[in-house]
């Protein structure tokens, strides 16, 4: 049987990367597989992929997917700035940023806020495990207050919620997910790639080594028991052979500018992610309800204005321009100098 | 009384926020257009309104453009500093003073020619509005100086029109006030008591009057910079702001409105350099402009750029150390910091311009070098040359194409590369010069993509922690940066080439050194002068140091930062290197150099 190929004629192998060196069972490796699946299904040209990251376990993962893409494993907490520059240089690149809760919510908090507020056209995945893994188990800023570590230490400080923060900063796509929910994550990543603007996916991704006690709110067991999907997330693009099943009255369709659709099928009550008030309510409920975590597409504004539009960047990338486009002609130059006489 | 023609300094002492900038520029520009060499310097506080500001206009037919260190004519408008300002005037000098201010006699100066001017009263007739009146009061002294110094009235009037962009009402009003100043001076002052005169010459023909930040911004424009990220910081802000102005003028498509540039005002300097490197990595010519505090924040990324080999240009408009206090004062205090900025073994290429011609030239060249050597390049300007108008040769239109270095920017280019080479390795030294070939994202060839990291990579950009890979890589980086001397500007040597006494200097110190050297030569002290224009230091510096009996290194910092770099390069000559330092925050004057050399040269040379 010939291997399946996607719309640009590539098989899934073309989206894989080198072997992971993370701990066996790490949630991040599941996200890596979900990124591979999403990129494959959406038929992204690997040569156009730019993988950006900072420092930490999560930031190592760009090595484990899409080796045929370009990657920059930059500086701790500073991935957003590097991604911003790369995006301005060539807006046609598909930028997939991978970060962690230390990288984003602590050392990189400033850059995170500003990349959101600038609405850089990129996917921003936070692989959120509430703990510093690479430095062996310190609490992070997304740890819940009262959370208990393996050695018994209790976290005394309030948790930062990146989704709430992002929404407040005008983020145009806010999702929360769980690395173990591959179907939801894959659909969200596909939607995030199609979205024009910054798409944040705060994905809870358990650390099997340092933060996986059953009572930790970032553990596999806890997530399996307490994760409530807001809806079933489906993604369908014009080129997709298989359509997402739509249930009348229960399925909400969010069309994206590239012709694709996010299909959200209600499980209990309907959540409309294009309604910012509804998004706020979901996040409030999430914070108020310590017993559960709500996952899915919390907010999406498909008509937002990404940075490249604000900057009036045209089709020819800045990176491809030469003397002809960039130097004023001699006559104009001399006229300019005349102003300094 | 003998008149003094075209060789004196005017000091306009006022408070910032009073709108004196236009008047000052008009005076300086009028003298420039009369064909006389002039060097204005604005000494201003870190403040928006109300603190003392001094504007020095040095007129110098001898073409000395450094701060003179003397004041022959004072326009005193600031009550808070009037006494001190008056004390600072040279014996026999001239004072134009507001009638409400403490007078010369009050501070014990009976040797000055004093002209009391009712600045506010004269302006009052033209403006009922208090704020406008304040602005116009400054134009009164333009009129007074025009009359007393003999400025060409037609020239002054034309400069006023240019200054106010030919806005008819504004031009008319300002001209009227200037005329009122002239009329007042004519009626009340005995011109013979003021010996200073400006006489038209032909010394500025074909030249322009431009500040360093403008010249550098023009360099960036012509050098093909397409991306800039910056965080506002004095004295660098106007560089990016001017770059934006130029881009709006020349890089916006008239039909589509599309921009051929992108500028992002970043959240801090960390993010500025991060964005610059992101853009450089993706193939755009990118830059930031900052000053010392920003450089400190950029340290982490500067090292990353060095190890990951990413081009980017950093304009460092140097000022004094940590704020607050002296952030608007000039210095050359970042040399050592920038030369090795970051953690781990790091070395950077520095270009050190002196004057608008070089700021413009290096403003372009920095992008060529950053791409040729795939590394951050620092252009070391300073507040003195960044924010003050300077006379410059007319800047040449660039004839050469950009040097994009060893970049494989397309599938075809990669195919051509692989015809000659077995394989592509991002960090492989193919040509033996330490400079590898690089690709940029989007190149559609299976050999092209690579994974960029800081320190741990082998020649093929794969992760490694092997000691041999690491050592081979950092040794290559060292060779690469050392090799940059092939393309960076060599030092310039002038003066008495046979002299045993050498003086080394760089950047804006140049102007003071030239003047000091001429004065010393006139007294029989002969010197060879070398101006360093880049780091790493060229072999010529080593030879120069070895061949002199004594070497003075003149610079504007406390610790002799360049002297240290030279001593490290030529340690056996350390004993004969003597620093001549000024670090008070004002633009360097010739006097400290003259004094230091004069007082010590004999013992050194004859010992």
Q: What is the pLDDT of residues A113-139, one digit of tens each?
A: 999 999 999 999 999 999 999 998 899
Q: Which candidate, B418, B227, B381, B503, places its Cα nearest to that of A311?
A: B227
Would you call A321 and B260 a contact, using CB atoms and an 8 Å cutoff? yes
CA-to-CA dists, residue A276 to A164, A208, A263, B202, angstroms: 11, 35, 18, 69
Q: How far lies B506's CA from each of B26, B291, B533, B539, in Å? A: 30, 18, 6, 16
Q: Any chain A CB within 8 A of the CB of B413?
A: no
3-state secondary structure of A86: helix
Closest Cα partner for B490 from B558, B439, B537, B545? Answer: B537
Q: What confidence category does residue B102 fall into, taking pLDDT thresholds of 50, 70 and 90?
A: confident
C-alpha B526, offset from chain centre: 28
Q: Give the rounded distance of the alpha carbon of A21 from its chain centre.
A: 22
Q: Is A85 on the interface with B (CB under 8 A)?
A: yes
Q: What is the pLDDT of residue B600?
A: 87
The 10s digit of each residue's pLDDT in A269-291 is 999 999 999 999 999 999 888 88
Q: Is A337 on the interface with B (CB under 8 A)?
A: yes
In angstroms, the Cα distances linking B603 to A140, A233, B214, B224, B501 are: 65, 86, 44, 52, 12
Q: Which residues in chain B touch residue A48, judged by CB atoms under 8 angstroms apart?
A: 441-442
- β-sheet with B52-60: strand ranges across: B38-43, B52-60, B7-15, B71-76, B89-98, B113-117
pLDDT above 90: residue B241: yes
Please state the rounded mean pLDDT for residues B315-343: 93
- Residue A2 is predicted with a pLDDT of 62
Chain B contact present for A164, CB below 8 A: no
**Region(s) of chain B under CATH 3.40.920.10:** 4-205
| A154 DSSP 8-state letter | B
Q: Which residue of A has its CA nearest to B302?
A: A75
Q: Tokens for B279, please give them.
A: 């853009």
Residue A93 in contact with partner chain B when CB distance is under 8 A: yes
> Smallest Cβ distance to B402: which of A47, A63, A322?
A322
Q: Find the closest chain A residue to B394 by CA distance.
A: A337
Contacts A92 to B, Cβ<8 Å: 442
- The DSSP secondary-structure symbol of B457 reads B
Between CA A92 and CA A314 the distance in angstroms is 10
Domain topology for B492-606: Rossmann fold (3.40.50)
Are residues B449 and A83, on separate chains, in Cβ contact within 8 Å? no
Nearest-Cα distance to chain A for B447, in Å, is 9
Dihedral of the alpha carbons of A315, A197, A95, A4, in degrees to the nearest 10: -90
Interchain contact A61–B (C-beta under 8 A): no
Question: What's the CA gap between B482 and B535, in Å, rounded?
Answer: 9
Domain A12-319 CATH superfamily = Thiamin diphosphate (ThDP)-binding fold, Pyr/PP domains (3.40.50.970)
Q: What is the pLDDT of residues B75-95, one digit of tens each?
A: 999 999 999 999 999 999 999
Per-residue pLDDT for B66 more than 50? yes
The closest CB to that of A81, out of B209, B250, B271, belongs to: B271
Tell me if chain B has a CB within 8 Å of the CB of A20: no
By the 10 Å C-beta count (0-12 exposed, 13-18 middle, 19+ buried), B400 is classed as exposed
DSSP notation for A47-79: GGEEEEE-SSHHHHGGGGB-TTSEEEE-STT-H
> Is the Cβ of A69 closer than 8 Å to some Cβ of chain B?
yes
Contact B277 A312 (CB under 8 A): no
B441 at interface of A, judged by CB pairs closer than 8 A:
yes
Assess B284–A contact: CB distance below 8 Å, yes or no: yes
Residues of B in contact with A20 (CB under 8 A): none
A250 has a pLDDT exceeding 50: yes
Q: Please give the average per-residue pLDDT across B52-73, as a whole number.
A: 96
Report yes or no: A312 at the B interface, CB cutoff 8 Å: yes
Interface of A with B in 259-298 (CB under 8 A): none
Q: What is the pLDDT of residues A60-117, one digit of tens each?
A: 999 999 999 999 999 999 999 999 999 999 999 999 999 999 999 999 999 999 999 9
Query: What does the block give as tokens for B427?
Result: 């960090």
Q: Which residues contact B291 (CB under 8 A, 6 or more apart)?
A: B233, B234, B235, B236, B316, B317, B318, B319, B327, B383
To the nearest whole Å, the CA of A340 is away from the closest chain B CA by 5
Whether A121 contacts A257, CB under 8 Å: no
- On chain A, the residues whose CB falls within 8 A of the CB of B463 are 63
CB A50 within 8 A of CB A94: yes
Q: What pLDDT is attached to residue B607?
A: 44
Tell which residue, B591, B605, B524, has the closest CA to residue B554: B591
Taking CA–CA distances from B250, the nearest residue in chain A reads A328
**Nearest-angstrom CA–CA distance, B210 and B329:** 20
Residue B580, judged by CB atoms within 10 A of its CB (0-12, 13-18, 19+), counts as buried
When mean pLDDT is compared across B119-133, B344-358, B437-451, the lowest value belongs to: B119-133
Q: Which of A64, A68, A85 to mutate to test the interface with B (most CBs of B within 10 A)?
A: A85
Query: Is A89 within 8 Å of chain B by CB?
Result: yes
Burial class (CB in 10 A: 0-12, 13-18, 19+), B524: exposed
Asked whether the beta carbons of residue A89 and residue B229 sit closer than 8 angstroms, the reply is no
Question: Would the CB atoms of B221 and A340 count as touching at under 8 Å?
Answer: no
- DSSP-assigned letters across all residues of B117-174: E-HHHHHHTT-SSHHHHHHHHHHHHHHHHHHHHT--HHHHHHHHHHHTTT-HHHHHHH
Neighbours of B249 (CB within 10 A): 12
- CA gap B385, B354 in Å, rounded: 8
Q: Which of B105-109, B135-139, B310-314 has the highest mean pLDDT?
A: B310-314
Which residue matches tokens 């080593």? Answer: B542
Supply the DSSP symbol for B396: P
How big is chain A, counted in residues? 341
Average pLDDT over residues A44-59: 97
Of B10, B15, B97, nearest to B52 (Cα)? Answer: B15
Q: How far apart are CA B31 and CA B42, in angstroms?
A: 16
Q: What are phi and psi of B255, to 5 degrees?
A: -85, -45
Partner B contacted by A72 (CB < 8 A): yes
Mutate to test the interface with A, among B442, B456, B461, B463 (most CBs of A within 10 A): B442
Q: Which residue is closest to A73 within chain B, CA to CA? A: B453
Q: Considering only alpha carbons, which residue of chain A is nearest residue B204?
A: A341
Q: How far is A282 from chain B (nearest CA, A)?
A: 30
Element (H, E) at B264: strand B262-265
**A79 vs A112: CA distance, rounded Å:** 9
Residue A77 is encoded by which pair of tokens?
């907490």
Note whether B308 contacts A: Cβ–Cβ < 8 A.
yes
Cα dihedral A194, A198, A204, A209 in deg (nearest 10): 110
Q: Which member of B267, B440, B453 has the closest CB to residue A111?
A: B267
Say which residue the tokens 């390069």 belong to. B569
Contacts of residue A332, Cβ cutoff 8 Å, sequence gap at least 6 = B250
User: In chain B, which residues have their Cβ closer than 8 Å to the Cβ of A110?
Assistant: 267-268, 271
Cα separation of B504 and B553, whole Å?
5
**Residue A132 burial by Cβ neighbours in a 10 Å radius (0-12, 13-18, 19+):** buried
Q: Report ipTM for this prediction.
A: 0.97
- The answer to whether A327 contacts chain B (CB < 8 Å) is yes
- Inter-chain touch A86–B281, beta carbons under 8 Å: yes
Q: Does B501 touch chain A (CB under 8 A)?
A: no
The pair of three-digit structure tokens given for residue B3, joined into one six-digit string: 């008149």
Q: Are the C-beta atoms of B134 and B18 separated by less than 8 Å?
A: yes
Measured between CB atoms, which of B250, B257, B281 is closest to A332?
A: B250
Q: Does B444 touch chain A (CB under 8 A)?
A: yes
Tell whether B377 lies on the interface with A, counting CB pairs under 8 A: no
Q: According to the model, what pLDDT value does residue B603 have?
A: 66
pLDDT value of position A148: 85
Contact indicator for A75, A83 with CB cutoff of 8 Å? no
Contacts of B596 (CB under 8 A, 6+ apart): B552, B578, B580
Q: Is A310 on the interface with B (CB under 8 A)?
A: no
The conformation of residue B445, written as its DSSP 8-state character, comes to -
Say if A19 is an interface residue toward chain B (CB within 8 Å): no
Name the minimum distance, in Å, from the CA of B279 to any CA of chain A.
4
| CA nearest to B57, candidates B8, B17, B96 | B8
**Pairwise CB contact (< 8 Å): B450 & A319:** no
Tokens standing for residue B465: 């922690």
Tell me what the mean pLDDT of segment B469-498 comes to: 97
Residue A1 has pLDDT above 60, yes or no: no
- The answer to whether A126 and A101 have CB atoms below 8 angstroms apart is yes
How big is chain A by its Cα radius of gyration, in Å? Answer: 21
For residues A166 and B24, give the distance between their C-alpha atoms in angstroms, rounded to a whole number: 49
Beta-carbon contacts of A41 under 8 Å, excluding residues fewer than 6 positions away, are A6, A186, A190, A240
Indicate the pTM of the whole model.
Answer: 0.97
Task: Find chain A residues with C-beta within 8 A of B453's C-beta.
Answer: 73
Strand intervals (E) in B200-257: 207-211, 227-230
Q: How confident is the model at residue A248 (pLDDT cuts 50, 70, 90)?
A: confident
- Which residue of chain A is at minimal alpha-carbon distance from B229? A85
Inter-CA distances, A205 with A60, A148, A222, Å? 14, 17, 12
Q: Is A114 at the interface with chain B, CB within 8 A?
A: yes
Q: Indicate the range of A207-216, A237-246, B200-209, B367-376 predicted with least confidence.
A: A237-246
Instruction: Please tell me if residue B362 touches chain A, with a CB cutoff of 8 Å.
Output: no
Q: How far is CA A176 from its chain centroid?
A: 10
CATH class held by domain B4-205: alpha beta
pLDDT above 70 coverage of chain B, percent: 99
- Hunting for tokens 């300097």 — which residue is that? B269
Once rounded to an integer, what is the mean pLDDT over residues B266-275? 98
CA distance B177 to A77: 57
CA distance A276 to chain B (A): 26
A132 within 8 A of A77, measured Cβ to Cβ: no
Average pLDDT, chain A: 95
Among the partner-chain residues B280, B394, B452, the one whose CB lies closest to the CB of A337 is B394
Q: Which has more pLDDT, A150 or A136? A: A136
CB contact under 8 A, B449 and A323: no
**In chain B, where does the domain assigned CATH 3.40.50.970 lie?**
210-393
Considering chain B, what is the average pLDDT of its residues? 95
Note the pLDDT tens digit of each residue in A175-207: 999 999 999 999 999 999 999 999 999 999 999
Residue B565, token pair as written in the block: 């770099």
Strands A173-178 and A293-300: antiparallel
Residue B79 has φ and ψ, to the nearest 5°, of -60, -35
Contact A110 B267 (CB under 8 A): yes
- B210-393 belongs to which CATH class? alpha beta
């Amino acid at each position: 049987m010939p291997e399946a190929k996607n719309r640009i004629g590539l098989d899934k192998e073309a989206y894989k990367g080198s072997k992971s060196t993370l701990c066996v069972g790490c949630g991040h490796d599941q996200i890596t597989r979900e990124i591979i699946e999403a990129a494959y299904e959406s038929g992204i040209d690997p040569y156009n992929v730019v993988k950006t990251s900072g420092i930490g376990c999560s930031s190592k993962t760009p090595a484990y997917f899409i080796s045929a893409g370009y990657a920059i494993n930059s500086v701790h907490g500073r991935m957003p700035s590097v991604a911003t520059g790369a995006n301005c240089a060539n807006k046609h690149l598909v930028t997939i940023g991978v970060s962690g809760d230390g990288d984003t919510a602590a050392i990189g908090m400033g850059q995170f806020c500003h990349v959101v507020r600038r609405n850089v056209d990129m996917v921003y995945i936070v692989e959120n495990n509430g703990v510093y893994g690479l430095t062996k188990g310190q609490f992070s800023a997304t740890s819940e207050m009262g959370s208990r570590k393996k050695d018994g230490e209790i976290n005394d400080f309030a948790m930062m919620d990146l989704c709430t923060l992002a929404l407040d900063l005008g983020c145009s796509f806010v999702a929360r997910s769980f690395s173990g929910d591959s179907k939801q994550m894959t659909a969200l990543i596909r939607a995030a790639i199609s979205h024009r603007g910054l798409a944040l996916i705060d994905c809870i991704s358990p650390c099997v080594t340092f933060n996986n006690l059953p009572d930790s709110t970032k553990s596999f067991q806890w997530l399996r028991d307490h994760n409530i999907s807001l809806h079933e997330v489906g993604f369908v693009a014009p080129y997709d052979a298989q359509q997402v099943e739509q249930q009348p009255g229960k399925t909400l369709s969010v069309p994206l500018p590239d012709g694709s659709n996010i299909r959200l099928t209600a499980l209990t009550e309907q959540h409309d992610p294009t309604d910012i008030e509804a998004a706020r309510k979901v996040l409030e409920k999430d914070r108020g309800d310590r017993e559960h975590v709500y996952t899915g597409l919390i907010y999406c504004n498909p008509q937002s204005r990404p940075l490249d539009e604000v900057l009036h960047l045209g089709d020819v990338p800045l990176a491809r321009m030469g003397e002809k486009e960039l130097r004023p002609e001699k006559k104009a130059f001399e006229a300019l100098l005349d102003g300094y006489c | 009384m003998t008149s003094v023609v075209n060789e004196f300094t005017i000091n306009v002492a006022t408070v910032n926020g009073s709108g004196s900038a236009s008047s000052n520029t008009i005076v300086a520009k009028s003298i420039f257009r009369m064909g006389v060499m002039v060097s204005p310097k604005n000494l201003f506080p870190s403040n928006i309104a109300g603190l003392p500001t001094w504007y020095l206009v040095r007129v110098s037919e001898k073409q000395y453009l450094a701060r003179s260190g003397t004041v022959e004519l004072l326009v005193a408008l600031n009550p808070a500093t009037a006494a001190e300002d008056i004390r600072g005037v040279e014996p026999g000098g001239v004072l134009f003073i507001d009638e409400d201010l403490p007078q010369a006699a009050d501070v014990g100066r009976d040797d000055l020619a004093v002209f009391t001017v009712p600045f506010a009263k004269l302006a009052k007739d033209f403006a009922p509005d208090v704020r406008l009146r304040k602005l116009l009061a400054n134009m009164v002294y333009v009129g007074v100086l025009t009359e007393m110094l003999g400025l060409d009235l037609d020239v002054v009037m034309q400069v006023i029109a240019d200054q106010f962009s030919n806005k008819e009402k504004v031009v008319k009003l300002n001209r009227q006030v200037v005329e009122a100043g002239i009329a007042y001076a004519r009626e009340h002052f005995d011109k013979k008591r003021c010996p200073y005169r400006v006489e038209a010459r032909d010394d500025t023909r074909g030249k322009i009057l431009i500040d360093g930040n403008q010249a550098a911004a023009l360099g960036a424009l012509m050098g093909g910079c397409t991306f800039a990220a910056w965080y506002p910081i004095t004295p660098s802000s106007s560089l990016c702001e001017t770059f934006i102005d130029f881009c709006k003028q020349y890089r916006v498509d008239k039909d589509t409105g599309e921009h051929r540039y992108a500028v992002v005002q970043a959240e801090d300097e960390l993010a500025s350099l991060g964005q610059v490197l992101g853009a450089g990595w993706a193939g755009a010519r990118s830059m930031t402009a900052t000053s010392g505090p920003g450089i400190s924040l950029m340290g982490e990324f500067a090292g990353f750029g060095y190890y990951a080999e990413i081009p980017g240009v950093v304009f460092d408009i140097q000022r004094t150390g940590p704020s607050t206090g002296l952030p608007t004062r000039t210095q050359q205090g970042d040399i050592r910091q920038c030369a090795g900025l970051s953690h781990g073994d790091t070395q950077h290429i520095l270009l050190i311009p002196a004057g608008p011609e070089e700021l413009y030239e290096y403003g372009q060249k920095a992008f060529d070098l950053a791409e040729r050597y795939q590394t951050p390049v620092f252009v070391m300007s300073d507040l003195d040359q960044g924010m003050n108008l300077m006379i410059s040769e007319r800047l040449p239109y660039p004839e050469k194409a950009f040097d994009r270095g060893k970049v494989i920017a397309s599938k075809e280019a990669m195919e051509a590369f692989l015809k000659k080479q077995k394989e592509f390795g991002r960090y492989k030294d193919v040509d033996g010069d330490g400079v590898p070939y690089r690709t940029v994202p989007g190149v559609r060839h299976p050999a092209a993509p690579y994974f960029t990291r800081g320190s741990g990579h082998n020649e093929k950009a794969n992760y490694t922690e092997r000691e041999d890979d690491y050592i081979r890589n950092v040794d290559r980086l060292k060779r690469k940066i050392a090799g940059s001397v092939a393309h960076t500007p060599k030092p310039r040597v002038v003066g008495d080439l046979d002299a045993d006494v050498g003086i080394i200097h760089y950047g804006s110190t140049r102007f003071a050194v030239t003047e000091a050297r001429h004065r010393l030569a006139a007294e029989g002290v002969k010197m060879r002068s070398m101006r360093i224009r880049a780091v790493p230091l060229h072999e010529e510096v080593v030879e120069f140091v070895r061949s002199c009996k004594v070497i003075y290194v003149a610079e504007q910092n406390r610790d002799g930062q360049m002297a240290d770099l030279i001593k490290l390069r030529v340690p056996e000559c350390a004993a004969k290197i003597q620093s001549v330092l000024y670090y008070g925050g004002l633009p360097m004057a010739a006097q400290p150099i003259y004094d230091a050399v004069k007082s010590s040269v004999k013992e050194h040379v004859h010992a």
